[in-house]
Amino acid sequence: MQEVKDRLEQLLGPRLLTGDALQQRYCHIWQMDKPLQAVALALPKSTEEVSKILSICHELNQPVSIHGGLTNLVGGTETKQEELVLSLEKMNAIEELDIQSKTMTVQSGVILEQIQSHSKENDLFFPLNFGAKGSAQIGGIISTNAGGLRVFRYGMTRQLVLGLEAVLADGTVINSMKKIIKDNSGYDLKQLFVGSEGTLGIVTRAILKLQELPTSRTTAFVAVESYNKVMRLLRLAEKSFGGKLSGFELVWQNFYKMATSPPSLMKPPLETEAPYYVLIESLGNDKEGEHNILMTLLEEALESDLIKDAALADTQSDFDWFWKIREDVHAVKSQFNLDQHFDISLPIPLIGHQLAEINRQLEGLAGVTRFVTFGHVADGNIHLIVDKKNSSPELTKAINAIVYGPLKAIGGSVSAEHGIGTHKKAYLCLCRTEEEIGLMKLLKKTMDPKGILNRGRILDHS
């Protein structure tokens, strides 16, 4: 271990943090009061340095934990005392924005909000969006295949990555940095690293696919009395807006009340008595036409009793208000004492029934104090946050059993977008077959034979 530190100090100098310097670091933005557990923290500035660091670690069998924006919710950034932490935060350059090919070349440490802003400044649009956009780094976003609020129209992160550079466990650099959309020349190797949570290699650079910047945006908050009506409203919205429907977010009453009641600073745009609330969004280039489509949609929905009430965003402050209610999950989470998070994927028609049953069982479980439900219903991704009286393994497992129990039988998943990390490994078998898990293990053994990269994420270390 001392040899690792000595050799890395020769390479990085003051950018290798050890001893007391680690006390100022942490493993998650929600746990800044807990000092980082690690043998050292390395801060490379280039792919070459990442390669040299991993070459040394591979030679000396030194386990490496990879850090980005520290917003992961499944234990992916938790560390142990014997691990070296490699943070990509100093690899934060936007290297190029190519207007003609509508691409942006970035290093892994670039924050999502910076990508969004730089695109907008050049009349382009990077559609990936979620609450942690001000902290999440693109390398971690790619490594976890993050989703967010516009997956319904634009797809997950893997659909937005054209090119990728990654460093393998032994320091080998895999460069697939191409701007082309179509490349059918054998295996699409970059996709091995998208969603593999840093277990197969460290993403260092990427070429992102941009869109033309929408010039118009329409948003409405609506109250709905049943899940069946939510589904009918979704179909009506799809028909009305066609390909311009970019968001259809569903929040249950419990989430809506907490998000719009003190101590939250948000005010409710609608009364809080409906069981469901939907945020509808369209993005396009015809402000008047899309406004008229939304007005006609809401009028038809009210006349046919699909919705109980509606509020329309008329100004930028209204847009910010409506979407902050949905995006600022931390404002709700901060009201919980011992929160347990879930992001499950279910067949869309079954969501209403399955979540009603899950909620019923949670209400009847001793030790659960409250919970909220919300999600991206148009792509089948539902989130739950459960508050509980204690963090005992027994209670945690009982809550997991209620939420995860139905998923295998209905073809669902324990993770829609957050990944598996260290927290969900025991439940991977509910959404992956024995043969699939065997192939995952084979890939890991082949690409990281010493098992030094993000050890214990997704699969048990062996």
3-state secondary structure of 38: coil
Residue 69 in contact with residue 27, Cβ under 8 Å?
A: no
Kindly calculate the radius of gyration of the chain based on its CA atoms and give it in whole angstroms.
23
- The CA angle 102-105-111, to the nearest 5 degrees, is 110
pLDDT at 461: 81
CB of 327 closer than 8 Å to CB of 251:
no
Determine the pLDDT at residue 333.
Answer: 87
Identify the structural domains of the chain with CATH numbers, from first to last: 2-90 (3.30.43.10), 94-212 (3.30.465.10), 216-330 (3.30.70.2190), 336-417+425-444 (3.30.70.2740)
Q: Whole-angstrom Cα distance, residue 269 to residue 85? A: 44
How high is the pLDDT of residue 250? 96
Query: What are the Cα distances from residue 5, in Å, to 12, 23, 27, 448, 451?
Result: 10, 17, 20, 21, 19
pLDDT at 462: 66
Instruction: Give CA–CA dist 71/27, Å, rounded.
Output: 9
d(CA 418, CA 342): 9
Structure tokens at 393: 């393994």
- Mean pLDDT, 10 residues at a time, the chain of 462 residues: 90 94 88 89 98 98 95 90 96 98 98 97 95 94 92 93 98 96 93 97 98 95 97 96 92 95 92 95 94 96 96 93 90 90 95 96 96 94 96 96 96 94 94 96 97 95 74
Q: What is the pLDDT of residues 253-305, one digit of tens each?
A: 999 999 999 998 899 999 999 999 999 999 999 999 999 999 999 999 999 99
Contact 4, 38 (CB under 8 A): no
CA distance 90 to 337: 34
- How far apart are alpha carbons 151 and 158 in whole angstroms? 11
Nearest to 85 by CA among 50, 42, 49: 42
Query: Both tokens of residue 121?
Result: 């400044």
- In one-letter notation, the amino acid at residue 407 is L
Strand partners of residue 370: 387
CA triplet 411, 366, 377: central angle to 5 degrees? 35
DSSP assignment of 337-358 equals SSEEEEEEE--GGGHHHHHHHH
Neighbours of 183 (CB within 10 A): 12
Q: How far is 346 from 310, CA to CA, in rounded Å?
A: 27
Residue 333 contacts residue 339 (beta carbons within 8 Å): yes
Determine the Cα–Cα distance for residues 417 and 243; give it in Å rounded to an integer.
23
Tell me whether strands 40-42 and 84-87 are parallel, antiparallel or unpaired. parallel
Length of the chain: 462
**Two tokens at 248?**
């259809």
**Separation CA 382–CA 343 (nearest Å):** 6
Concatenated DSSP letters for 196-214? STTSS-EEEEEEEE-EEPP
Strand partners, 383: 343, 374
pLDDT in the model for residue 41: 96
What is the structure's pLDDT at 330? Answer: 83
Angle formed by the axes of helices 351-363 and 393-404, to 10°?
A: 160
List phi, psi (to 5°) of 94.
Answer: -85, 110
Backbone angles phi, psi at 3, to 5 degrees: -65, -40
**DSSP alpha helices (H): ranges in 149-252?**
151-154, 190-193, 227-241
* Contact indicator for 127, 64 with CB cutoff of 8 Å: no
In this structure, what token pair is assigned to residue 229? 């009506």
Within 13 Å of residue 216, how many CA atoms lie on the same side as its CB?
A: 16
pTM (two decimals): 0.92
